Amino acid sequence: MNNWKEDKKWSDRFLPEIKSVLGLYLIGEPSAEEDQERNTDLMVLKMDAVRIACRIRRNNQTKYAAEFTIRAGRPSGVKTELTKIIEGWGDYLFYGFSDPDEVALSQWILGDLKAFRIWFNRDLIRLKGNIPGIKQNNYDNSSFFYAFPIDIPNFIIAQKGQYER
């Protein structure tokens, strides 16, 4: 079974790079008036808490770059990422792949979870209650997840790397 602490430690090595990328998209330059009158050189584009889910996959999984996966169930029944997202938690999803040496990111997307929720709920209705996406078990059966396409309307805010379309 996957050890959450080990997986978290592995993926956390990419946090400095992720923070750097997010700064490019979530921090903006103010107007001249803001700079001149309010001592403002940079602005965070949203004042309340911004929640960003981050998921990094190993380089040998880049063949799946046209999709992103979200954990949807564990045998214990504990609430998983998909339920939390559908409940409204999370503003953005940063989803990427490590380079072959596992020291940097080779490709990534920054996705808008509001756009994902809109798409998910519309497709849930269209599919008469069936979850849109491809259900798969984790290799060790410690959980299952759904794979969703990255080309959801209005989902991708930014991306780096080669993505199959």
pTM: 0.84
pLDDT number for residue 164? 41
pLDDT number for residue 162? 66
How many Cβ atoms from other residues are within 10 Å of residue 5's Cβ? 8
Q: Which two tokens stand for residue 162?
A: 């080669």
* CA gap 42, 53 in Å, rounded: 24
pLDDT number for residue 78? 86
How many Cβ atoms from other residues are within 10 Å of residue 52's Cβ? 15
- DSSP per-residue string spanning 36-92: HHH--S-EES-SS---EEEEEE-GGGGGGTTEEEEEEE-TT----HHHHHHTT--SE
Strand partners, 111: 93, 156
pLDDT number for residue 121? 96
- Per-position pLDDT tens, the chain of length 165: 456 688 888 889 999 899 999 888 888 787 888 777 778 788 776 667 788 999 999 999 998 899 999 999 988 888 899 999 999 999 999 999 999 999 999 999 999 999 999 999 999 999 999 999 999 998 888 889 999 999 999 999 999 986 544
pLDDT number for residue 110? 95
pLDDT number for residue 153? 96
pLDDT number for residue 46? 64
pLDDT number for residue 45? 67
First CA to last CA distance, the chain: 33
Phi first, then psi: what are they for 17, rounded to 5°?
Answer: -70, -40
